[in-house]
Amino acid sequence: MTGPRDTPETDDTSAEETLDPAESSEDKPEKKKRGALREAAILITVAVVLYYVMLTFIARPYLIPSESMEPTLHGCNGCVGDRIMVDKLTYRFSQPEPGDVVVFKGPPNWSIGYKSIRSENPAIRTVQNALSFIGFVPPDENDLVKRIIAVGGQTVECRVTTGLTVDGKKLNEPYLDPTTMNADPAVYPCLGNEFGPVKVPEGRLWVMGDNRTHSADSRAHCSNEPADVQRGILCTGDPVAGTIPVENVIGKARFIAWPPSRWGGVSSVDPQS
């Protein structure tokens, strides 16, 4: 005898859940669009994080706001200054050397009378700070750019009879331009007042601008003995005053990133060689 045959039960649920082909094809572009937006958001987030890491630890752009480093670096009020890339990594593994062009934070005695260039409007100030971080406007801090002339333990001095010397040796400075300075070092050896001798303390640097007659550098912030000032000789007082701490150095100027007509590396000519 044959028993009753089992008949498969119909699955009404699965039939109800079967998607309409037309409806499914309409959802695909929407899902693809959402997926593309998520991917774009992730890529943008990763790019921003990587850029922040680069600016913080590796390199950062800076806008040159003044003429103190002409003609090496171009800058002036109301003009398009050079935008330079500053290497923040090198000095983690080595020490600043004579001839290096560096960006540094001005010590307290270099910041006397410094006035913020930011707007008093909080919203505008926020935008200015953001643009400063990526190098489109000058930093609000008293960040400066100069060339290292002497390092800790060396003695720097200038006399009209010898010119600028370090440890008694006359410097070779091909980056100085008489036309820019409106003065010829051959005629005016100190390009300003005689100064020194200054023995640079260990862990500090003596820095000067390439546009020597238009630069408020170590000479402008040094300590003076009144008797020597009367003789026209500056910087014979406390040697700490005119020098900057090595730890204030933000990084080494590597190349000019903007404008395109100025693209190129920033020379690190050792004047002591």
Q: How far apart are CA 83 and CA 94, in angstroms?
A: 25
Token readout for 21 is 């082909």
Give domain status of residue 185, yes or no.
yes
Give domain status of residue 224, yes or no.
yes
Give domain status of residue 15, yes or no.
no
Say yes or no to pLDDT of 76 above 90. no
Q: What is the CA radius of gyration of the chain?
A: 31
Q: How far apart are CA 23 and CA 20, in angstroms?
A: 5
Q: What's the total number of domains in the chain?
A: 1
Say yes or no to pLDDT of 54 above 90. no
| Residue among 201, 217, 251 nearest 100 (CA) | 251
Residue span of the structural domain in which 234 resides:
56-265
Token readout for 271 is 């004047």
Q: 26: which residues sit within 8 A by CB, 6+ positions away?
A: none
What's the DSSP call for residue 155? E
- Measured between its terminal Cα atoms, the distance across the chain in Å is 114
Give domain status of residue 16, yes or no.
no
Q: How far is CA 196 from CA 101, 214, 225, in A?
A: 22, 19, 10
Digit-coded pLDDT (tens) for 186-233: 999 999 999 999 999 999 999 999 999 999 999 999 999 999 999 999
User: 205 versus 120: which is more confidently predicted?
Assistant: 205
Say yes or no to pLDDT of 75 above 50. yes
pLDDT of residue 15: 45
Give domain status of residue 272, yes or no.
no
Element (H or E) spanning 13, and its range? helix 12-17
Taking phi first (over 0 means left), then psi (-120 to 50 degrees means alpha), and beta for anything else, what does residue 264 get?
left
CATH code, domain carrying 226? 2.10.109.10
Q: How far apart are CA 37 and CA 34, in angstroms?
A: 5
Token readout for 5 is 């045959």
- The pTM (predicted TM-score) of the whole model is 0.78
Q: How far apart are CA 226 and CA 222, in angstroms?
A: 13
Q: Which of 66, 132, 146, 218 is catalytic?
A: 146
Please answer whether residues 146 and 69 qualify as being in contact, where contact means their C-beta atoms are separated by less than 8 angstroms. Answer: yes
Q: How far apart are CA 102 and CA 8, in angstroms?
A: 84
Give domain status of residue 116, yes or no.
yes
Give domain status of residue 46, yes or no.
no
Give domain status of residue 36, yes or no.
no
User: 263 versus 23: which is more confidently predicted?
Assistant: 263
Please state the separation of Cα 83 from the chain's center in Å: 9
Q: Please indicate whether residue 199 is annotated as part of the active site.
A: no
Q: Which of 68, 132, 215, 218 is catalytic?
A: 68
DSSP-assigned states of every residue in 176-237: --HHHHTS-TTTSTTSS-EEEEEEPPTTEEEEE-SSGGG--SGGGS----HHHHHTTEE--S
Helix (H, G, I), strand (E, B), or coil: what is residue 257? strand
Q: Please indicate whether residue 32 is annotated as part of the active site.
A: no
Q: What confidence category does residue 241 fall into, taking pLDDT thresholds of 50, 70 and 90?
A: very high
Token readout for 217 is 């550098």
Please answer whether residues 52 and 44 qualify as being in contact, where contact means their C-beta atoms are separated by less than 8 angstroms. Answer: no
